[in-house]
Amino acid sequence: MKGTLALVTGAAGGIGEAVVRLLAERGAQVAAVDLDAERIADTAARLRADGLDATGFAADVTSSSAVERLVDDVENRLGPVRHLVNAAGVLRLGQARTLSDQDWNATFAVNTTGVFHVSRAVANRMAPRRAGAIVTVASNAAGTARAEMAAYAASKAAAIAFTKCLGLEVAHLGIRCNVVAPGSTDTPMLRGMHTADTAAKASITGNPEQYRVGIPLGKVATPEDIARATAFLLSKDAGHITMHELTVDGGATLGV
């Protein structure tokens, strides 16, 4: 990672922040992107205080024009983007039959269209340089039905399909595109699904009434677990891996 520039979306907390920190610790310069301008400025300041090379950028990934301006700004200020991590995501829970149009559209706007906007903008700049690596952070829910998660699961499944198709189209340019699919991870998103005291336990034990098995390894992931998998797929160690989906869920989907 040393001497390269990485752009990470959803960087103000959770998995995104963990990815920024790890890539910076491994020597990358990181453009940390988030919708929340105040939070991303605070996050970048904390990282710089720890001696890490991170610069905060506020941008709305649901806006094509905003993303194009963002990537231009990043490359003009910091240099060519070599690594991209799509970590921005939202979760709107609800039964499929009663889910509102607003929740459905908001979920896809970030989780799918956001991935499209940022990946397209960055890949188009990587292409003439004939080098780069992209990782989309999706979810194990994309391939396993979950009650009350229809919008989230569908949006992540679409993001996976898009990332793999992009990977096929740009492979001849030396650009690799892969997916990390986390299971339950100790983030504000998971804690928002339960009370703070029960989030981990509920994930580990599962819920037979919702046909949801627990986690065989007996623990939820940390954001750092997902960051390490992401960093691997970006690295030279994964130099012959593309269009791959790496599930990091402690066995929750039973290896399927």
Q: Catalytic amino acids?
A: 152
Asked whether 84 and 132 are in contact (CB, 8 A), the reply is yes
Tokens of 211: 């046909």
Task: Indicate the helix (H) or strand (E) that contains 135.
Answer: strand 132-137
- Which position has the token pair 């908001």? 106
Asked whether 75 and 81 are in contact (CB, 8 A), the reply is yes
Asked whether 122 and 135 are in contact (CB, 8 A), the reply is no
Taking the C-alpha atoms of residue 142 and residue 140, their distance in angstroms, rounded to an integer, is 5
Taking the C-alpha atoms of residue 62 and residue 115, their distance in angstroms, rounded to an integer, is 9
Asked whether 16 and 9 are in contact (CB, 8 A), the reply is yes
In one-letter notation, the amino acid at residue 201 is: K
Percent helix, strand, coil in the chain (nearest 5)?
50, 15, 35
Q: Find, among 225, 116, 94, the residue nearest to 163 by Cα.
A: 116
- Report helix angle 64-78 to 114-126, nearest 10: 40
